[in-house]
Structure 1
């Protein structure tokens, strides 16, 4: 008996059906970018971070000055910090790019000074912790940006500000991308460009710290020690 119901394959099937007539779903979605700050807006908020003693703000400052991701820097352990070489060795387990090797992050003079101070008072294996047992939550930096500094931006936005600065100041593109722990070029380029360009990145990150901290106490103390 014909009840007026459709019989046959599902007309809404995508593969080898609707895909022949409609654009792919990913092209129909509106792209939204994480909000970032202008360089001046970022610099205006740095004094608050350097003066506030809450460990969460120290962590946030560390993330900004290293241009790294929350998942990477919130869980840092002291064993990852090489004070002699002024390097933070980010383990493969926290690398977003999935590479099975340590990523070396150069630490500016100001960051080394801050870490030395924190180390003297630390009772934990973690650099940034409130209870000496667990690292602060990876969501903490974003929460502090929103609730503490009243800024509508994310850590990704901070990284974007850094990348814009690199472009505006003529920093080599590959050095800038490697500073953000990004892959560079296609597979052929990556196969030949294996160096992490540590010393080139060290110069960039020192200039970044100098720019953001030039009017703050950490920098003043450092200059006094060197004079």
Structure 2
């Protein structure tokens, strides 16, 4: 077995000696102009030819380190892999990983990392599409280490004032990408954090909030009559009516399944993964809502969804909007038609002006409680207290309609 004492005694020009412990591992004494080194002589399992593989110079690489490295490569040989070729492949991969990416590449890598955490597929696509639409076309081909504050300002400027909400989200997502680049060691500081200094001041958020156009609550009975007083009550109209009666969100209604409906107890239980807040939401079903569900029950054999045209998929997100658009239902906003989401506002205004407690109305709408302290003390969903409110809301909404539900 080769020891350090023996290795130091070897002179330039001496013949290579076996290190011992690993077949083929040799110690080659230094030449006149070089250093002593370790080599592994083996027969390539891929070409069946003899090859010598350098393992480093002595004493920079110790005898023990050389043996350990040789054993690792011998294991590759036993598996039919040429260690010289494998080392070259590993080096190419490492070189690619160390290459500083363009902003476009960084965006896609960050999106791949975080996308599994998104619960809503629509929000997931919005995250990357914002970058693809506004930032990547302008700065996507620039490597992240070359990006400056002005580059991000140029990408944000076209929508900074005209689309402030989108611009704010774009800025946040650019910042998220550049923070990832810092963590990867590609850059040392985040240029997006100072980009506002190069852009005009945006209007305050409260001055730019755009509410969904809604039917004024006093006009809801006549709007319901216009929509539902017909012999042609389609699946889409049933879904829209159910949305109004429950004050639920469009996605919750369209995705409703029969296993969420408890007809004996008059409750619709929306699971956490289908709500905006990520928490389960129980909806007390009024008499009109129950009758509508009983009317839909004969279609249950066609699929799991309560509202489905074919039984193979739920209604699309445009179905309810098209019904409203075709009916040209007026809203409380001048020169704009009502939106599906606006019916939640109609319900909220009705509840406020008819003496219902704020807490009841907010629970009916499944709004998140922003205050952590307040949220900690709200352990009940006030389901039973909400029943009378939803019953009265249903009666009010359909008081001008003459049909059997």
Given the two structures, how large is their TM-score scaled by the length of structure 2? 0.48
Q: Is 2:386 the counterpart of 1:206?
A: no
**1:17, 1:168 → 2: CA distance?**
45
Q: Which runs of 5+ in 1 are unaligned?
A: 1-8, 223-227
* Equivalent pair of 1:178/1:184 in contact (CA under 8 Å): no
Between the two proteins, the alignment pairs up a number of residues equal to 210
**1:172, 1:86 → 2: CA distance?**
22
Residue range with higher mean Cα deviation, 169-178 or 35-44:
35-44
**1:104, 1:43 → 2: CA distance?**
25
Match of 2:238 among 52, 55, 58: 58
Q: Which runs of 5+ in 2 are unaligned?
A: 1-147, 154-190, 331-336
Match of 1:148 among 311, 321, 327: 327
Q: How much does 1:147 deviate?
A: 1.7
Q: How much does 1:24 deviate?
A: 5.6
CA-to-aligned-CA distance 1:132-154 (integer Å, 9 cap, x gap): 21111122112211123444121
* Equivalent pair of 2:228/2:401 in contact (CA under 8 Å): no
CA-to-aligned-CA distance 1:63-103 (integer Å, 9 cap, x gap): 0111111111111111111000101111111110123xx21
Runs of 4+ off more than 4 Å? 9-14, 16-22, 24-29
CA-to-aligned-CA distance 1:30-86 (integer Å, 9 cap, x gap): 332211111233211212325332110010000011111111111111111100010
Q: Residue 35 of structure 1 aligns with which residue?
A: 213
**1:57, 1:161 → 2: CA distance?**
18
CA-to-aligned-CA distance 1:97-128 (integer Å, 9 cap, x gap): 123xx211111011111111210244222111
Once the two structures are superposed, the pairs formed by residues 1-227 of structure 1 within 5 Å of their partners are 10=149, 15-16=193-194, 18-19=196-197, 23=201, 27=205, 30-47=208-225, 48-51=227-230, 52-99=232-279, 102-122=280-300, 123-151=302-330, 152-184=337-369, 186-218=371-403
**1:54, 1:18 → 2: CA distance?**
50
Q: Residue 5 of structure 1 aligns with which residue?
A: none
- The higher-RCO structure (CA 8 Å, 6+ apart) is 1
Q: How much does 1:28 deviate?
A: 9.8
Distance of aligned partners of 1:10 and 1:62 in 2 relative to their CA distance in 1, 3 Å threshold? closer
Residue range with higher mean Cα deviation, 26-35 or 174-183:
26-35
- Secondary structure of the 1:155 match is coil
* Equivalent pair of 2:149/2:194 in contact (CA under 8 Å): no
- Secondary structure of the 1:15 match is helix
Larger Rg: 2
Distance of aligned partners of 1:22 and 1:67 in 2 relative to their CA distance in 1, 3 Å threshold? same
**1:144, 1:109 → 2: CA distance?**
24
- Secondary structure of the 1:104 match is strand
- Secondary structure of the 2:305 match is coil
* Equivalent pair of 1:74/1:137 in contact (CA under 8 Å): yes
Residue range with higher mean Cα deviation, 130-139 or 59-68:
130-139
Given the two structures, how large is their TM-score scaled by the length of structure 1? 0.82
